[in-house]
Structure 1
Amino acid sequence: MRDLPDGVSRREIDGRERVCTRGPPVYGEPTDGDWRVWDASRSKLGAMLELGMETGLAGGESVLYLGAANGTTVSHVADFAGPTYAVEFSARPVRDLLEAADPRPNLFPLLKDARKPDTYSHVVESGLDVLVQDVATRGQATVANRNARFLADDGRLLLAVKARSEDVAARPEAVFEEVRADLSDRYEVLAETRLDRFHEDHLGIVARPR
């Protein structure tokens, strides 16, 4: 398996080795002292790490997270990252996100639409190390392209593509090929892995700006 970022560890919890971060629990996950399980079945980024993808994460990065929902994954990211901006469109999950952010001074929730980066460009700094995207909407590549403006030249895009959000009737392979093509003007794909072991009809992509 690939090395994990600093601040992320594999620990034996409930009789098996689990990927964990150190921080306050958020969603009732199993814990071992200060360490809490990063459940890959509830997190696409967690699945990417569990499956051994080379994400380029080292720990301490500045992060823009799109599709933060109620904070399940982004709270783990904030446990090992630097400043972490969490964009979520729906007001109801943002209430939970605010609770997750309360003990994490480096986690900044934003009630915004990831398809409209102009609405938060005055808050989110440019030159960020990582863009994490888990937005279940049509046009996932378009969202990644529009938000590329926030990434440093040597930054990384960590994208979880949900085929059924693009086209519920299309073959996932055809959807993924279209997403790759749409990304190609702004990004170079470095790695990709199907996430079906944890998330059906999902593809994990690691890319860097062109």
Structure 2
Amino acid sequence: MSETSERLPAGVERRSIEGRSRLATRGEPVYGEPTADGWRTWDPNRSKLGAMIELGMDHGLVGDETVLYLGAAAGTTVSHVADFAGPTYAVEFAARPARDLLSAAETRDRLIPLLKDARRPETYGHVVEADVDAIIQDVATRGQAAVAVRNARFLAPDGRLLLAVKARSEDVTDAPAAVFERTLDRLRDRYEIRETERLDPYHEDHLGVIATLR
């Protein structure tokens, strides 16, 4: 049975799969996730956005959004997003995971892979439509805030940034709390921070951030 008390986007439900209540979307499986009756488990241990939803963060997603996903990797999370959202632009630079991303897109008309570097939005600005409803970012690199700031050009005035900050990608020597604060300070050049929450126990040394344009 699905639950309606949670703030879940249309197309995302909590379903009983393998005897447990789990977040799920409808679509072809991508990473060997358990399925039942056409629903595929959305594993928060493998998805930063899934963890943000599980933790009750105010993600603002309602379903059918236009999404720019930065750091799509092999398509684990972005495939779930494309299951419930509208056009979903998936940016990934590394060739090896991009092959899996292309495979995930074969059964998803709304998933648009872009083999580009999220640090250089000018290289895909001619493809991504203006005023996307949400930017979802999971880029494991230094300068994660800079990536979000550079891509703010695509976000609608009332859109949201859903960012997962990986402390160890920024600085392996400094305390995660200090890394997070520096990242938030840089984000404030372009965004207003609405909510933050550590993504434990699903992802160690990660911070979930919800922000809107300033």
In the alignment, the residues of structure 1 paired with residue 68 and residue 123 of structure 2 have an alpha-carbon distance, to the nearest angstrom, of 14
Structure 1 counterpart of 2:207, one-letter code? L
Structure 2 counterpart of 1:136, one-letter code? A
Q: What is the deviation of 1:2?
A: 3.6
Q: Which residue of 1 aligns with 2:191?
A: 187
Counterpart of 1:171 (choices 167, 172, 175) is: 175
Q: Which residue of 2 aligns with 1:113?
A: 117
In the alignment, the residues of structure 1 paired with residue 56 and residue 20 of structure 2 have an alpha-carbon distance, to the nearest angstrom, of 17
Do structure 1's residue 54 and structure 2's residue 64 form an aligned pair? no
Structure 2 counterpart of 1:126, one-letter code? A
* Aligned-pair identity (%): 69
Q: Within 5 Å, give how 1:80-95 maps onto structure 2.
A: 80-95=84-99
Do structure 1's residue 70 and structure 2's residue 91 form an aligned pair? no
Q: What is the deviation of 1:12?
A: 1.3
In the alignment, the residues of structure 2 paired with residue 70 and residue 51 of structure 1 have an alpha-carbon distance, to the nearest angstrom, of 24
Q: Which residue of 2 aligns with 1:147?
A: 151
SS at match of 1:40: coil
Structure 1 counterpart of 2:129, one-letter code? E
Structure 2 counterpart of 1:132, one-letter code? I
Q: What is the deviation of 1:119?
A: 0.4
In the alignment, the residues of structure 2 paired with residue 117 and residue 125 of structure 1 have an alpha-carbon distance, to the nearest angstrom, of 12
Structure 2: any 5+ residue segments left out of the alignment? none
Q: What is the deviation of 1:51?
A: 1.0
Q: Which residue of 1 aligns with 2:36?
A: 32
Q: Which residue of 1 aligns with 2:17?
A: 13
Q: What is the deviation of 1:16?
A: 1.4
Structure 1 counterpart of 2:95, one-letter code? A
In the alignment, the residues of structure 1 paired with residue 12 and residue 195 of structure 2 have an alpha-carbon distance, to the nearest angstrom, of 21
In the alignment, the residues of structure 2 paired with residue 18 and residue 203 of structure 1 have an alpha-carbon distance, to the nearest angstrom, of 22
TM-score by length of structure 1 reads 0.99
TM-score by length of structure 2 reads 0.97
In the alignment, the residues of structure 1 paired with residue 68 and residue 112 of structure 2 have an alpha-carbon distance, to the nearest angstrom, of 10
SS at match of 1:41: coil
**Contact 1:2–1:53 (Cα < 8 Å) also in 2:** no
Q: How much is the aligned-residue C-alpha RMSD, in angstroms? A: 0.8
SS at match of 1:155: strand
Which consecutive segments of 4 or more residues in structure 1 shift more than 3 A? Answer: none
Q: What is the deviation of 1:185?
A: 1.5
